[in-house]
Amino acid sequence: MVARGRVVTDSLGKTRRLGKRLERGGEGEIFALLDRSDVIVKWYYPEVLKKRGETLHRKVEAMRGLRDSHMTRDVCWPLIRVFDEHHRWIGFAMYRARGVKMGFLAHALLYQRYFPGLDRRQIVGYLIRFVEIVQQLHEAGVCIGDYNLNNIFCMPGSDQVTLIDCDSYQLRVDGTFYPCPVGSPDMTPKEHQGVAFRHTLRNSRSEAFSLAIVLFKCLMLGRHPYDIVGGDDPVRNLRRGHFAYGRGQRDVPQGVWYELWGELPETIRDMFVTTFTEGASAPSRRATLAQWHAALSDYRDAMTAGECAMTLTMPNRPQRAKVLHAR
């Protein structure tokens, strides 16, 4: 592979050698630094730089100005500007996240491979950390916007959570608004559906809705809260607030999925039901991050005290999981 240079300079004009390419994302490539295995460089694709380079550069600079110790540690925040051999800005350096994508934890088949011995208490531990990190971001006026389980890294065997892909976050710095230009409809609340993401103004209520979907997917090992009712697709169910679980609803998935649901504390089930039914079209009805944090902490305490089951009664039965998924 012929790399584009492979040598970059940092903000201080210091030359840095890139190691191998680690990933290709939607907007750029991720390289290791040759002499710092804990630091990686995001190098935007030439066509992205051509089209939106200036906007991106301004946003990343605004982000760098906002960083604090939390952001550096829990979020892979842009830390250092990076230029190519012609001194053109091409991206930034950040810390490398350790751990495994949350997408592999919220997965009925994969979690055992990537998180050996995983139990409910550990899942809840990750979720509490996740909520705390999002709360810190909100306090700094930053919204995640594009919620995606693959951008949340969890360290097996600890509670450590680290967020990546933060150059898409929504923020406001010194009166300038930087939108989150991306998203996926099945993680986006109704009020922001059908509007271009770059024109969407996320707020604490819309964030709370998307965050609740992340929580649900983890506690339910990959099920989407809106993925079954009447055979409709999740986005359609989401827009209608058709949530199949809880309070006298029909079309509830039977078997192991319902058992998983039934083992959650009533408070948490109620918060999901309210958020995903009335809350689908009434943002003020959604459980807040503070409420999630309190409920999850109580849940973890109850498990620690032996008042709630910690083991996952879960699908060692892949064929069954598949059948239910296909309904």
Ligand X SMILES: Nc1ncnc2c1ncn2[C@@H]1O[C@H](COP(=O)(O)OP(=O)(O)O)[C@@H](O)[C@H]1O
Chain-centre distance of CA 228, in angstroms? 22
Rounded-to-integer distance, Cα 6 and Cα 33, Å: 10
DSSP string, 22-49: EEE-SSEEEEEESS-TTEEEEEE-HHHH
Q: How far apart are CA 123 and CA 291, in angstroms?
A: 18
Does residue number 5 form part of the binding site for ligand X (CB under 6 A)?
no
Q: Does 297 bind ligand X (CB under 6 A)?
A: no
Number of H helices, E strands in the chain: 12, 11
Tell me: does residue 148 bind Mg ion (CB under 5 A). Answer: no
**Of 95-103, 160-168, 211-219, 273-281: span binding Mg ion (CB under 5 A):** 160-168
Choosing among ligand X, Mg ion, none, which partner's interface includes residue 96 (Cβ < 5 to 8 Å by kind)? ligand X
| Binding of residue 49 to ligand X (CB under 6 A) | no
Residue 96-135 contact track with ligand X, rule CB under 6 A, x = bound: xx--------------------------------------
DSSP for 230-278, written as a single string: GG--HHHHHHHT---SSTT-SSPPPTHHHHHHHTS-HHHHHHHHHHHTH
Residue 74 within binding range of ligand X, rule CB under 6 A = no
Asked if 165 is part of the footprint of ligand X (rule: CB under 6 A), the reply reads yes
Residue carrying the six token digits 């790399």: 3
Task: Pick from 93, 143, 164, 295 the residue near ligand X by CB under 6 A.
Answer: 164
**From 94-102, 112-120, 257-265, 318-326, span contacting ligand X (CB under 6 A):** 94-102
Structure tokens at 294: 């309190």
Closer CB to ligand X, residue 167 or residue 227? 167
Residue 196, Cβ neighbours under 10 Å: how many? 9
Please, what is the minimum distance in Å from the beta carbon of residue 73 to Mg ion?
20
Binding site for ligand X (CB under 6 A): 23, 25-28, 30, 40, 42, 76, 94, 96-97, 150, 164-165
Binding site for Mg ion (CB under 5 A): 165, 168
